[in-house]
Chains A and B, each alone.
Chain A
Amino acid sequence: MQNLIDRLVGWAVGACLGAMTCIVFVSVVFRYVLNSPLAWSEELASLLFAWLTFIGAYVGIRSRSHIRIDTLVLVLPRAVQRWLERLADLGVLVLLLLLAWQGFRLTAATWSLEFPAMEISRGYLYASLPLAACLMIAALIFNWRLGREAPTSFPPEGRRGP
């Protein structure tokens, strides 16, 4: 189950990035080569970027690779560290529940608003956070069920953000 979701999320964020690249490149071509700018390209690419950000945060939880400051924690005894980690996970869970709840409310409230160029509901943007928050909650549950074992599928070790 978790492996399937891991893989799907990986493909989804990869596809978002690929699609963003194509959209922006095509819009440059349309503007400078064909001289007919696309109105919707920036809106759509930014929308996908929001989805990539929030869905991608699932990966960070699963692989426990979100950027954190562990300097202070590392001096504590192992048992205390593990206990703190569980407590932090619990706090994050509560926070995600809150974000999911408020995110769904926001999506419902903005469903009738539209993007000026794409003419689709702004709800497609605001739905990214609550849906991703649900995925992240799933990620936390997977991590607990698997114990402290690191997941195997992704991402390759040793690479972190800019």
Chain B
Amino acid sequence: MTLLVGGLLILLALGVPVAFAMTGASAIYVLLQGGIPLVVMAQRVTVGVDSFVLLAIPFFFLAGELMNQGGITRRLVDLAQALVGGIRGGLGHVTVITNMIMAGMSGSSVADATGTGAVLIPAMERAGYPRIFSAALVGAASTIGPVIPPSIPFVIYGGITGVSVGRLFLGGIVPGVLMGVFMMGAVYIVAKRRGYRAEGWLTLAESLRSVGRAIPVMLFPIIILGGIFSGVVTPTEAAVVAVVYAVFLSVLLYRELTLRGLARVLITVAANTAKITFIIASASLYGWLLAREGAPQRLTSFFLSFSNEPWVILLMVNVMLLILGCLMETTAILVILTPVLMDLITRVGIDPVHFGVVLTLNLMIGLLTPPVGMTLYVMVSLARVSVTDFTRECGIFMLALLVVLILITYVPGLVTFLPQLIMGK
């Protein structure tokens, strides 16, 4: 166990890519330990991605990228402008609302951040907002994406634990909306303190035109979520239907994407998908060895030695995840720790759907924190601001996210109510 965990940490610290660090640590362990046939390594890695549930990852990713390239994101921004542009800090609220609607279509925070950032950061700069504010806000707001369904982390969590992805999706709705509401509150506070003004409401005719143009786009969440929750399609199939609809809108209806552009999007998304799923494949080997070593039981008894109250356990797990979220990559934490933590969670009687949503929201905060935060780096390079400034500016938004995290951790009903209402106990 020391060899397995220590080996991984050393390899990661030396800058070995996460996927190779996991297979490497596993290989060293298998070679030194003996008793495990080497061929098992190849087998575990391969079956780790031979999974129909995980297929939803490239599809949701592809849908998000098509929306960005096909002019769909821009139409959403126009819609949000019509809805909330007149509130103080107007474009800030537009950013939050756009991300909330985007969240109902794509499953990936980084795709949302690049897409909305590319449209909104220049627009906010033209309207006189400091670039650092826009960058921090777009980054923070993009974390709503994976909590409001559909969501790539929920798919991964469901794939690992066997918890229904549909239930997780339903469980994310209320927490995601709360994130949006708290974030808009934070925007309002900052806007008031710094004297940002509203952009002014659009005229009725303009508003109606924006809403009208967004109607085909607004069918997205209805198709995806309606399809999943009514049980007509699985999440993976819903993701594919979203991709096909995005192709229809961007290539045939809006004509903003050529066939050549479509091929380029396919190649880019495939290459980027592989970076995530290769980590999942490696983690399937590494996690299997951890389980074989009895890591879940040891972690469980470690936590239970402090307390067996669910609220104390949740507090300790949350703090542990927040610290890990600063230091490690989100997908890696999700795939390594989920199986290890499940034993503990079920033992103290925490609902796995509730825990899945808490875990995801927690890890989303990790996307924004240095030294290891994907969204942080995407925004820093997109907006050309410094990591330190970004982190300082992001503070109030992270505080809003933390408040929501505490709320949903200790009021499980916020998560579990909808799934139980719609899909039964």
Q: At the interface, yes or no: A148 with Cβ under 8 Å from chain B?
A: no
Structural contact, A106 and B58, CB atoms closer than 8 A: no
Structural contact, B43 and A106, CB atoms closer than 8 A: yes
> Which residues does chain B contribute within 8 Å of A156, judged by CB atoms?
268
**Cβ 8 A contact of A17, one of B273, B278, B281:** B273
> Which residues does chain A contribute within 8 Å of B328, judged by CB atoms?
69
Q: At the interface, yes or no: B32 with Cβ under 8 Å from chain A?
A: no
Nearest opposing residue in chain A for B18, CB measure: A67
Give the residues from 224 to 260 in chain B that come closer than 8 angstroms, CB to CB, to chain A: 232-233, 236-237, 240-241, 243-244
Q: How many angstroms from the CA of A65 to the CA of B274 in the assembled complex?
A: 11
Q: How many angstroms from the CA of A14 to the CA of B111 in the assembled complex?
A: 18
Structural contact, A161 and B13, CB atoms closer than 8 A: no
Structural contact, A49 and B49, CB atoms closer than 8 A: yes
Q: How many angstroms from the CA of A55 to the CA of B378 in the assembled complex?
A: 25
> Which residues does chain B contribute within 8 Å of A49, judged by CB atoms?
49-51, 54-55, 58, 277
Q: How many angstroms from the CA of A95 to the CA of B24 in the assembled complex?
A: 6
Known: A155-B271, A156-B268. A17 touches B378 (CB 8 A): no
Q: How many angstroms from the CA of A130 to the CA of B41 in the assembled complex?
A: 12
Q: How many angstroms from the CA of A88 to the CA of B41 in the assembled complex?
A: 20
> Which residues does chain A contribute within 8 Å of B153, judged by CB atoms?
162
Known: A55-B274, A102-B38. A21 touches B61 (CB 8 A): no
Known: A68-B17, A125-B50. A52 touches B270 (CB 8 A): yes
> Which residues does chain A contribute within 8 Å of B52, judged by CB atoms?
42, 45-46
Closest Cβ–Cβ distance, residue B3 to chain A (whole Å) = 16
> Which residues does chain B contribute within 8 Å of A66, judged by CB atoms?
17-20, 275, 278
Q: How many angstroms from the CA of A135 to the CA of B19 in the assembled complex?
A: 16
Closest Cβ–Cβ distance, residue B252 to chain A (whole Å) = 15
User: When each residue 22-59 of chain A gets 1 if its CB lies under 8 Å from chain B and 0 otherwise, what string results?
Assistant: 00110110001000000000100111011011111101
Q: At the interface, yes or no: A160 with Cβ under 8 Å from chain B?
A: yes
Size of the B side of the interface (Cβ < 8 Å), in residues, is 79
> Which residues does chain A contribute within 8 Å of B19, judged by CB atoms?
57, 66-67
Structural contact, B236 and A162, CB atoms closer than 8 A: no
Give the residues from 79 to 129 in chain B that come closer than 8 angstroms, CB to CB, to chain A: 107-111, 114
Closest Cβ–Cβ distance, residue A7 to chain B (whole Å) = 10
Structural contact, A162 and B24, CB atoms closer than 8 A: no
Give the residues from 69 to 97 in chain A that come closer than 8 angstroms, CB to CB, to chain B: 69-73, 81, 84-85, 87-88, 91-92, 95
Structural contact, B268 and A68, CB atoms closer than 8 A: no
Closest Cβ–Cβ distance, residue B169 to chain A (whole Å) = 16
> Which residues does chain A contribute within 8 Å of B134, judged by CB atoms?
none
Nearest opposing residue in chain B for A130, CB measure: B42
Q: At the interface, yes or no: B15 with Cβ under 8 Å from chain A?
A: yes
Q: How many angstroms from the CA of A162 to the CA of B56 in the assembled complex?
A: 12
Structural contact, B274 and A52, CB atoms closer than 8 A: yes
Nearest opposing residue in chain A for B45, CB measure: A129
Q: At the interface, yes or no: A144 with Cβ under 8 Å from chain B?
A: no
Closest Cβ–Cβ distance, residue B322 to chain A (whole Å) = 17
Q: At the interface, yes or no: A139 with Cβ under 8 Å from chain B?
A: no
Known: A53-B281, A56-B274. A102 touches B55 (CB 8 A): no
Main secondary structure of the interface of A (DSSP, over half): helix
Q: At the interface, yes or no: A143 with Cβ under 8 Å from chain B?
A: no
Known: A14-B266, A71-B371. A109 touches B39 (CB 8 A): yes
Closest Cβ–Cβ distance, residue A79 to chain B (whole Å) = 15
Q: At the interface, yes or no: B382 with Cβ under 8 Å from chain A?
A: yes
Q: How many angstroms from the CA of A145 to the CA of B401 in the assembled complex?
A: 47
Q: How many angstroms from the CA of A135 to the CA of B13 in the assembled complex?
A: 26
Q: Among B61, B232, B267, which residue has the most Cβ atoms of chain A within 10 A?
A: B267
Structural contact, A53 and B49, CB atoms closer than 8 A: yes
Closest Cβ–Cβ distance, residue B28 to chain A (whole Å) = 9
Q: How many angstroms from the CA of A103 to the CA of B382 in the assembled complex?
A: 40
Q: How many angstroms from the CA of A13 to the CA of B58 in the assembled complex?
A: 11
Structural contact, A70 and B15, CB atoms closer than 8 A: yes
Q: At the interface, yes or no: B152 with Cβ under 8 Å from chain A?
A: yes
Q: How many angstroms from the CA of A69 to the CA of B278 in the assembled complex?
A: 16
Q: At the interface, yes or no: B386 with Cβ under 8 Å from chain A?
A: no
Interface residues of B (CB under 8 A from A): 11-20, 23-24, 27, 38-39, 41-43, 45-46, 49-52, 54-55, 57-62, 107-111, 114, 146, 152-153, 232-233, 236-237, 240-241, 243-244, 263, 266-281, 327-329, 331-332, 370-372, 374, 377-378, 381-382
Q: List 8 A-B contacts (CB under 8 A).
A: A15-B266, A21-B243, A53-B49, A59-B274, A98-B27, A106-B43, A130-B42, A161-B276
